[in-house]
Amino acid sequence: MAQARGQQRRRAPAKRRKTTARRRATSQRRWLLLVGVVVAVIALAAWIGSLPLPVAPPNRARPMSMAAARASNARVPIVADRLRRAARFRFRGGPAAREQAIECLATAALYEAGDDRRGQRAVMQVVLNRVGARGFPKTVCGVVYQGSARVTGCQFSFTCDGSVRRRPIHAGWTEARRQARRALNGRVYPEVGRATHYHTDWMVPYWRDSLVKVARIESHLFYVRRRD
């Protein structure tokens, strides 16, 4: 009996050691699996982050005369029920960033619309709409100068046709900056709604037929994306 008890005692620690070893192995496998999942998630996030954002189409025009372009644009109807009021813009940034945004917004409005107040406000609204839209930079200046380094890729023609190097000096700057401050403070220009694109009526850009025309301000035509 004593000998049997001794054998049982010797076998008991062996069983405990085997059980402990199995538990450790199971725990190690779980940790390895968890580490593998974490590494995979990080790798996936890095890959997604490296993907380029969809870029808006360049503002290139189809080759045709001004009269033909105006006639072509006139045949495209304005879809009034797609003209929806844009949300108020909320600027995020410090005083220096705000002043920079005012300068960029006023510059775009003045070069694109001249001294026309309605045109200036319409251009500003498009810029701010783009800041909140997919596929565009998330800052005012980023939107205004998107693609300016490429002759065929700029979104606003004045940024790549040499106009910006000939900065005019007149009272229009004061008004443009005033309108820019109001826009950055949340003032909405409802006449163009959520439009993210526009062009003059004497040209037909390649992207025109992929969008929906929602408004006309003087000689400028405004569009929204079909899925927005």
Say how many domains are in the chain. 2
pLDDT at 16 over 50: yes
- DSSP 8-state assignment for residue 58: P
User: Rg (Cα) of the chain, in Å, rounded?
Assistant: 31
Q: Is residue 152 part of a domain?
A: yes
Q: Is residue 218 part of a domain?
A: yes
Q: Is residue 31 part of a domain?
A: yes
pLDDT at 152 over 90: no
Q: Which two tokens stand for residue 8?
A: 């049982």
Q: Is residue 155 part of a domain?
A: yes
- For residue 30, name the pLDDT band (cuts at 50, 70, 90): low
Q: Which two tokens stand for residue 84?
A: 């929806």
Q: Is residue 197 part of a domain?
A: yes
Q: Are residues 47 and 74 in the same domain?
A: no
Q: Is residue 139 part of a domain?
A: yes
Q: Are residues 74 and 34 in the same domain?
A: no
Q: Are residues 78 and 115 in the same domain?
A: yes
Q: Are residues 41 and 97 in the same domain?
A: no
What's the mean pLDDT in 171-187?
92
Q: Which residue has the higher pLDDT, 50 or 188?
A: 188
* Per-residue model confidence as pLDDT tens digits over 210-228: 999 999 999 999 999 998 7
Q: Are residues 89 and 43 in the same domain?
A: no
> Average pLDDT, whole number, for the chain?
78
Q: Are residues 144 and 43 in the same domain?
A: no
Q: Are residues 102 and 212 in the same domain?
A: yes
In angstroms, rounded to a whole number, what is the distance separating the alpha carbons of residues 39 and 199?
47
User: Nearest-CA neighbor of 216 among 96, 141, 117, 122?
Assistant: 122
- Percent of residues, the chain, with pLDDT higher than 70: 61
- Percent of residues, the chain, with pLDDT higher than 90: 53
pLDDT at 15 over 80: no
* Straight-line distance from the first to the last Cα atom of the chain, in angstroms, rounded to the nearest whole number: 87
Q: Are residues 142 and 182 in the same domain?
A: yes
What pLDDT score does 41 carry?
32
Q: Is residue 99 part of a domain?
A: yes
Q: Are residues 108 and 28 in the same domain?
A: no
Q: Are residues 46 and 75 in the same domain?
A: no
Q: Are residues 45 and 77 in the same domain?
A: no
pLDDT at 29 over 70: no
The total of other beta-carbon atoms located within 10 Å of residue 113's CB is 22
What's the mean pLDDT in 36-58?
39
Q: How far is CA 114 from the centre of its chain?
A: 26
What's the mean pLDDT in 142-165?
61
- For residue 172, name the pLDDT band (cuts at 50, 70, 90): confident
Q: Is residue 60 part of a domain?
A: no
Q: Are residues 25 and 92 in the same domain?
A: no
Q: Which domain holds residue 16?
A: 1-51
* Per-residue model confidence as pLDDT tens digits over 112-141: 888 889 999 999 999 999 999 999 999 999
